[in-house]
């Protein structure tokens, strides 16, 4: 039970009181502003201390200067004249065809080293050091400095990041904790399925769900809120509350505006309308998170006042453990919320999009789900463990559509050797995961949706691929904090949807391609037909008796 004194020690959320200005120096996939020290590795015969070992190289190592790549003007030409600004994932492929698997790109004063082979990505990641840093994100940092906010796991770095992760990790990543979220998530899945039914009846002519991704954003937000706060946000209601809708919109806007803002020097930001909008959407993200944290604190306080036991899931545990200040908790919760919306939803959208096209794969999944979970049984995390094909479908979806198409690492501890090049400390590497996903040397038939590549057994030998060919959740101690929860959400939703519906393409639909808006997402709405299998099963015998083929 929580003691009254604990609750009374300033469990009011007032993050403006936090006077410590924390420096945000890490961030997600934007690479444009990371500071690269253009320090030449002048000696080509050198001793390099890597994070794991000390290596003496007797062969001549090349330096950054020896790397080819487009100039800043050429990059601008590709982005804005050739039109790759929204499809930077495709630019990885085009540039790797021209420059090979390792090249440098220049953005004003900055140099980024692009890495587009599984072997070289492995080399970078294996030398990431004890406290890996993704990249500087001055725009995300700029917001936190402006509003005196704390950083969460996405934006913190160094020992402070390590401390946050050590507190946040257990209840996000330990299997026993993650499986305890099954019922909560399943309730949200039930509501999503009801919503699908309602959408079919009201706007879909009995079968169609238009803009499925938009519905899945709501599902993902509801799902992550139910895990963090044990609170329902009403996202599955017919009318979604305005605040919630605005939160989802703000996440999308923040990701959309991020790559635009970093094209301008920091000194110009206050004058940019984009910057004002960027600050406004961050304000909303923090505001919603603050209200949710505050509500939880009040709930706890009430129970303590009544001398009742205080039990609960993620946020309750964080508050009770008192390992972080409320300000720090708010910084982390805001980042967990925003990381939990577009990621799982886009992945599920792409899975369903492919299952609608590849009917045999869908049928195989359906058979797996009903054999593990027959009748009206609702899949649990134990059932999911017996659904390898379901997992392979998500794995293959994330290969073709990696949510983070280009991750990054900023080497902060040591010089490192990658291929036959020596790179100085503070080199920013852009890991071109999207390009590697489509590398036919790593994935035969790279453009084909083939879940069986991820299955163990007979097919395994045929499709044995490089372990760094597809690393959709990242690597090492800096890897995705939400991975296990995200997987659970995706498995529970996909298995239930396929159990209940046969998903078919929109007869009027066209191919949907991905774009990069910091994260990879569909370029246009995905509309799909959902045919209720129970109705089909009821009608099939009748139709057969009447000699009609359905």
- Which residues contact ligand HEM by CB under 6 A? 134, 153-154, 165, 224, 335-336, 339-340, 343-344, 347, 398, 403-404, 407, 472-475, 478-482, 485-486
Across the chain, how many H-helices and E-strands are there?
Answer: 22, 13
**End-to-end alpha carbon distance in the chain:** 60
Q: Residue 139 Cβ, how far from ligand HEM at the closest point, in Å?
A: 17
Q: Residue 171 Cβ, how far from ligand HEM at the closest point, in Å?
A: 11
3-state secondary structure of 140: helix
Of 193 and 227, which CB lies nearer to ligand HEM in the complex structure? 227
For the residues of 273-308, what is the DSSP string, one character each? HHHHHHHHHHHHHHHHHHHHHHHHHHHHHHHHHTT-
Of 316 and 347, which CB lies nearer to ligand HEM in the complex structure? 347
CA distance 334 to 323: 17
Q: Residue 253 Cβ, how far from ligand HEM at the closest point, in Å?
A: 19
Q: Residue 435 Cβ, how far from ligand HEM at the closest point, in Å?
A: 15
- Residue written as tokens 């709930």? 299
Report the candidate in 199, 284, 219, 286 with the shortest Cα–Cα distance to residue 249.
284
Of 122 and 506, which CB lies nearer to ligand HEM in the complex structure? 122
Q: Residue 460 Cβ, how far from ligand HEM at the closest point, in Å?
A: 23
Of 340 and 509, which CB lies nearer to ligand HEM in the complex structure? 340
Q: Residue 192 Cβ, how far from ligand HEM at the closest point, in Å?
A: 16
Q: Residue 127 Cβ, how far from ligand HEM at the closest point, in Å?
A: 14
Of 78 and 401, which CB lies nearer to ligand HEM in the complex structure? 401
Long-range contacts of 285-289 (CB under 8 A, 24+ apart): 285/247, 285/250, 285/251, 285/254, 285/334, 285/337, 285/338, 286/15, 286/147, 286/149, 286/330, 286/334, 288/243, 288/244, 288/246, 288/247, 288/337, 289/330, 289/333, 289/334, 289/337
How far, in whole angstroms, is CA 85 from its chain's centroid? 20
How far, in whole angstroms, is CA 495 from its chain's centroid? 20
Q: Residue 66 Cβ, how far from ligand HEM at the closest point, in Å?
A: 27
Of 303 and 484, which CB lies nearer to ligand HEM in the complex structure? 484
C-beta separation of 137 from 428 below 8 A: no
Pairing status of strand 519-522 against strand 514-517? antiparallel
- 3-state DSSP of 424-451: CCCCEEEECHHHHHCCCCCCCCCCCCCH
Of 225 and 257, which CB lies nearer to ligand HEM in the complex structure? 225
CA distance 151 to 253: 20
Q: Residue 172 Cβ, how far from ligand HEM at the closest point, in Å?
A: 7
Report the candidate in 537, 536, 531 with the shortest Cα–Cα distance to residue 209.
531
Q: Residue 440 Cβ, how far from ligand HEM at the closest point, in Å?
A: 23
Of 13 and 410, which CB lies nearer to ligand HEM in the complex structure? 410
Q: Residue 103 Cβ, how far from ligand HEM at the closest point, in Å?
A: 21
Of 335 and 439, which CB lies nearer to ligand HEM in the complex structure? 335
165: enclosing H helix or E strand: helix 158-168
For the residues of 195-225, what is the DSSP string, one character each? HHHHHHHHTSTTTEESSHHHHHHHHHHHHHH
Q: Which two tokens stand for residue 274?
A: 């984009």
Of 372 and 519, which CB lies nearer to ligand HEM in the complex structure? 519
DSSP letter at 133?
Answer: B
How far, in whole angstroms, is CA 465 from its chain's centroid? 23
CA distance 47 to 9: 53
Of 136 and 506, which CB lies nearer to ligand HEM in the complex structure? 136
In the annotated binding site, the residues are 480
C-beta separation of 319 from 296 below 8 A: yes
Paired residues of 102 in beta bridges: 115
Of 25 and 87, which CB lies nearer to ligand HEM in the complex structure? 25
Q: Residue 159 Cβ, how far from ligand HEM at the closest point, in Å?
A: 13
C-beta separation of 69 from 99 below 8 A: yes
In the annotated binding site for heme, the residues are 480
For 322, phi then psi, to 5°, come to 55, 30
């Amino acid at each position: 039970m929580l003691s009254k004194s604990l609750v009374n020690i300033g469990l009011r959320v007032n993050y403006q009181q936090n006077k410590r200005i924390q420096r945000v120096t890490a961030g997600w996939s934007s690479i444009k502003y990371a500071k690269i020290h253009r320090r030449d590795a002048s000696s080509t015969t050198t001793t390099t201390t890597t994070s794991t070992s000390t290596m003496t190289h007797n062969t001549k190592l090349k330096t950054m200067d020896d790397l080819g790549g487009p100039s800043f003007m050429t990059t601008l030409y590709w982005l804005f004249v050739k039109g790759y600004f929204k499809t930077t994932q495709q630019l990885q492929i085009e540039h790797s065809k021209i420059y090979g698997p390792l090249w440098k790109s220049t953005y004003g004063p900055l140099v980024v080293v692009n890495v587009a082979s599984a072997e070289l990505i492995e080399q970078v990641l294996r030398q990431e050091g004890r406290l890996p840093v993704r990249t500087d994100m001055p725009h995300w940092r700029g917001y936190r400095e402006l509003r005196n906010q704390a950083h969460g796991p996405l934006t913190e770095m160094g020992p402070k990041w390590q401390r946050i992760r050590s507190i946040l990790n257990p209840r996000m990543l330990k299997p026993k904790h993650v499986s305890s979220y099954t019922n909560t998530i399943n309730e949200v899945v039930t509501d999503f399925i009801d919503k699908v039914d309602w959408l079919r009846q009201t706007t879909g002519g009995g079968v169609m769900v238009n803009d499925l991704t938009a519905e899945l954003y709501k599902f993902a937000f509801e799902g992550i809120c139910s895990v963090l706060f044990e609170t329902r946000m009403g996202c599955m209601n017919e009318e979604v509350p305005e605040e919630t809708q605005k939160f989802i919109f703000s996440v999308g806007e923040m990701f959309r505006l991020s790559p635009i803002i970093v094209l301008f020097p920091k000194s110009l930001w206050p004058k940019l309308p984009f910057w004002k909008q960027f600050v406004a959407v961050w304000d909303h993200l923090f505001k919603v998170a603050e209200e949710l944290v505050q509500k939880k604190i009040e709930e706890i306080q009430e129970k303590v006042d009544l001398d009742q036991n205080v039990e609960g899931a993620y946020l309750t545990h964080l508050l009770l453990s008192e390992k972080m200040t409320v300000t720090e908790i708010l910084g982390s919760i805001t980042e967990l919320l925003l990381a939990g919306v577009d990621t799982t939803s886009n992945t599920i959208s792409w899975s369903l999009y492919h299952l609608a096209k590849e009917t045999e794969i869908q049928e195989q999944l359906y058979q797996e789900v009903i054999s593990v979970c027959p009748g009206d049984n609702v899949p649990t995390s134990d059932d999911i463990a017996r659904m390898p094909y379901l997992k392979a479908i998500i794995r293959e979806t994330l290969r073709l559509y990696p949510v983070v198409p280009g991750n990054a690492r900023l080497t902060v501890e040591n010089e490192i050797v990658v291929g036959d090049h020596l790179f100085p400390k503070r080199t920013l590497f852009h890991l071109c995961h999207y390009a590697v996903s489509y590398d036919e040397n790593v994935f035969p038939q790279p453009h084909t949706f083939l879940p069986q590549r991820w299955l163990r057994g007979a097919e395994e030998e045929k499709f044995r691929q490089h372990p760094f060919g597809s690393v959709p959740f990242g690597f090492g101690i800096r890897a995705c904090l939400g991975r296990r929860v995200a997987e659970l959400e995706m498995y529970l939703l996909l298995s239930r949807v396929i159990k209940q519906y046969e998903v078919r393409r929109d007869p009027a639909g066209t191919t949907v391609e991905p774009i990069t808006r910091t994260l990879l997402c569909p370029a246009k709405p995905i509309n799909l037909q959902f045919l209720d299998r129970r109705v089909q099963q009821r009608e099939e015998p009748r139709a057969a008796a009447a000699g009609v083929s359905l």
